[in-house]
Chain A
Amino acid sequence: MKFVALCFLILGACAKSNYADSGGDASDKNAACFVHSRECVSFTWEKMPTEVQAGDILLKFFLLNAADRTQVLADPQGKIALSLVMPGMAHGSSDITVVREDTGIFRASGLFFSMHGAWELHVQLKNGDVVSDEAIIPLHF
């Protein structure tokens, strides 16, 4: 009987709403390197996403100079595919459009976050349908 009462007390306890700091800057690190190549990718927000509006980013693909580790812009080897994934919920988001602007510079639009929490931006390089390399940038909305 005591066990049953204890279960009810635990299950029936009021929800403790531990609110996170406000803001959706999605800017944990904004950079990651690919798994197989020496190339890295970073991004900056051009249009910040909101709960009712998709965001746009500017992607920079670069290699690190062997001498002083400065960034050297370079186009990636393969077709770029971008996707937002919320790993905790195992779902993605809507399609993202990628357009090349200059050497190593790409504009991606349509980044929509369907809910708040931890997300990942998967930047994949593809040869045909095969993913040849991938960089994962964690972000928070």
Chain B
Amino acid sequence: MKLLFLFTFSLPLQAWAAACCGGGLTAPSIILGEDSAQMSVSYSNQAVVSDVDAESLWHHRQDPETTETYTLNVAHIFWDRWQAGLGLPIVKRSLGDESSSGLGDVAGTLGYEYLPEWEYSSWRPKGIGFVQLTAPTGRSNMDSDQTFQLDVRGRGFWTLGVGTLLTKIISRWDLFTSLDVHRSFSHSYSDDQFTGTLIPGYGGDLGVGAGYNVGPYRFGGSITWTYEDPIDMEGTINSQGSAQRYATTALSLSYLLPEEWSVTGSYADQTWFGSPTNASLGRGLLITAQKRWLR
């Protein structure tokens, strides 16, 4: 039970994303253990340390931009193997002496446990499929009205995704893999100078991770590869975008507290693996406190 519970800490790491301009998709809020509900509050502090352009050339940042994110994630089993979740991020971006904060992109998740673990199997994993809808509640780059665009806290698109999570416990080890494919929809913008439409495409995330459990502790690691189709601009300004690609590596330490509480500290870095292109890469810390309610 403890092992399954600690799986849940791997998921928020998907919230790390290319930090330029509000970050990426909010991570799905999903119950992986045998609980009826869970709630987590997390704080992350991430600094953009390098930009990688469309030709995959790296540019080191002399003055890193920092992004602090407070995220509330809730999930609840509402019927048999069905669950619903919500992710609510509050984002604060800072550059030099300037900063701005507000609501990021809110994500709702509907999940179904299609591979339940009702009996022991040495090889068959537990599987949960999900549909996630992300609302562009965070201001996008084209809607910004600040000089340094620090009020950009989201991607600016309605996004619909489907995905799956597979988990397996082998002795003291836990393993997971996640895969999702999402489609972002066009967004129209208009101000006193420019009008037009941003046309995004498909994107996806592939994640793998593992953890080693010792008593109330779990030492974990994961890596998530992210891809986004080019975004084209049509209107007053016309341009064709480039695809975006990066990988996020995370190391975490979790501790199980009494009464179904737990805490996790994580370090994530986007400069270690993969062949990033057209992305701002960050590194930083994530602290999560979680409460769960047993079935």
On A, residues with C-beta under 8 Å from B are: 11-20, 22, 50-54, 81, 83, 85, 87-95, 110, 112, 114-118, 120, 122, 124, 131
Contacts and interface: CB of A to CB of B under 8 A. Distances in A.
Contacts of A19: 57-60
B293 interface: no
B20 interface: yes
7 A-B pairs closest in CB distance: A116-B59, A117-B53, A90-B231, A52-B96, A87-B239, A91-B141, A88-B54
Contacts, number: 128
Contacts of B206: 11
Given A90-B200, A115-B51, A117-B54, 9 more contacts: A12-B223, A13-B275, A18-B56, A19-B58, A20-B58, A54-B147, A85-B239, A92-B141, A93-B149
Contact of B58 (A17, A85, A110): A17
A89 B147 contact: no
A117 B272 CA distance: 20
B239 A11 contact: no
A118 B206 CA distance: 28
Contact of A11 (B51, B60, B193, B225): B225
With most chain B CB atoms within 10 A of its CB, the pick from A19, A22, A115, A124 is A115
Contacts of A13: 273-275
A4 to B, nearest CB: 11
A83 B194 contact: yes
A88 B147 contact: no
A88 B53 contact: yes
Interface stretch (B131-139, B167-175, B240-248): B240-248
With most chain B CB atoms within 10 A of its CB, the pick from A11, A19, A89 is A89
A102 B240 CA distance: 35
A94 B193 contact: no
Interface in B188-234: 193-194, 198, 200, 206, 223, 225, 230-233
A117 B232 CA distance: 17
